[in-house]
Amino acid sequence: MEDPSKPRPNWFERLSTLLLREPEDREELIALLHSAFERNLLDAEALGMIEGVLGVSELTVRDVMIPRSQMDVLRIADPIGRFLPDVIGTGHSRFPVIGDNKDDVLGILLAKDLLRHFLSPKTFDLKATLRQPMFVPESKPLDVLLRDFRSTRNHMAIVVDEYGGVSGLITIEDVIEQIVGDIEDEYDFDDSEDNIVPVRGQRYRVKALTEIADFNEYFDTRFDDDDVDTIGGLVISLMGHLPKRAETVEADGIRFTILRADSRRLHSLLVERLLPPTDDTLTD
């Protein structure tokens, strides 16, 4: 019988106990982690992050870089007034600045450094403001690059091919997203990505902006969309407040767990089906 006077082990201690038998290979380790998830020793977010860490060790810069054709760059010869709309429009915090072409990267401009131009436009020197670019080969392992980013405090690197030509760029955000998932902000709009993505078993990752009508069609539920339009709005309504990450609520055989949220809105949810769909899955 468990001694109630002893503190309950945390999830890391329970996971360590589960892994006392050393896995023979990566596949067995993944299977053990999923077993821990099924036994509620790990939540979905922790499982995803551990799998992300394991995955990063097998990726190279080439696998996740932004290709040359999609690089947003600024030209050193252009007046600031010409490229300022692009800086504002893209919402990026850093830009490669080039000379004649994309192979001629002169440096990295931090968008915030443009404030100096407005403070003193006559004396502002764009070239002197640029930060030294960091160059990395396409074949560089992603976990090694992350260490380099941390040690050098760089947030962006220019990717070069075997001939020294620029083949793309990569940011620290691109690497971290391989571990924690998409880091969305107000400038990220990916219309091609599905709003509902199966994770495992009866679990699904769902964007908070998914229309309730689409959610009902996918899960064969009948949530009411008279007062709110999106599944994120429904969850807020069920909880009665703007929830934080890891908070849960259940309704009509569905458990909603907050995966990502900020102080203003929900971003993504973990949806778990607790009961098989029935014809009387109704909301009041």
Question: What is the pLDDT at residue 3?
Answer: 55
Classified as helix, coil or strand, 1 is: coil
233: containing domain: 196-273
Q: What is the CATH number for 117? A: 3.10.580.10
pLDDT digits (tens, 9 = 90+) for 205-231: 899 999 999 999 999 998 998 888 999
Residue 186 confidence (pLDDT) above 50: no
Question: What is the pLDDT at residue 201?
Answer: 67
214 and 175 in one domain?
no
Distance in angstroms (rounded) separating the CA atoms of residues 181 and 51? 11
Residues in the chain: 284
Question: What is the pLDDT at residue 233?
Answer: 92
Residue 113 confidence (pLDDT) above 80: yes
191, part of any domain? no
Domains held by the chain: number: 2
269 and 166 in one domain?
no
Q: Which residue has better confidence, 11 or 75?
A: 75
140 and 99 in one domain?
yes
201 and 172 in one domain?
no
What is the mean pLDDT of the segment spanning 11-17? Answer: 53
Closest to 40 measured CA to CA, from 17, 20, 11, 6: 11
CA distances (Å), 213 to each of 206, 217, 218, 228, in order?
13, 6, 9, 11
The answer to whether 102 and 86 have CB atoms below 8 angstroms apart is no
Q: What is the dihedral of CA 65, 66, 67, 69, to 10 degrees?
A: -170
Q: Which residue has better confidence, 246 or 169?
A: 169
Point out the domain boundary residue: 180, 206, 235. 180
Residue 187 confidence (pLDDT) above 60: no
The DSSP code sequence of 38-54 is HTTSS-HHHHHHHHHHH
Q: What is the DSSP letter of 189?
A: -
Residue 235's Cβ-count burial label (10 Å; 0-12, 13-18, 19+) is: buried
Distance in angstroms (rounded) separating the CA atoms of residues 225 and 14? 41
Residue 188 confidence (pLDDT) above 80: no
State the pTM of this model. Answer: 0.54
216 and 158 in one domain?
no
Question: What is the pLDDT at residue 185?
Answer: 45
215, part of any domain? yes
pLDDT digits (tens, 9 = 90+) for 15-31: 555 545 566 666 777 77
Please state, for a pLDDT cut of 90, what percent of the chain lies above it: 30
The DSSP code sequence of 164-182 is S-EEEEEEHHHHHHHHH--
Q: What is the CATH number for 208? A: 3.30.465.10
Closest to 44 measured CA to CA, from 232, 233, 198, 177: 198
162 and 104 in one domain?
yes
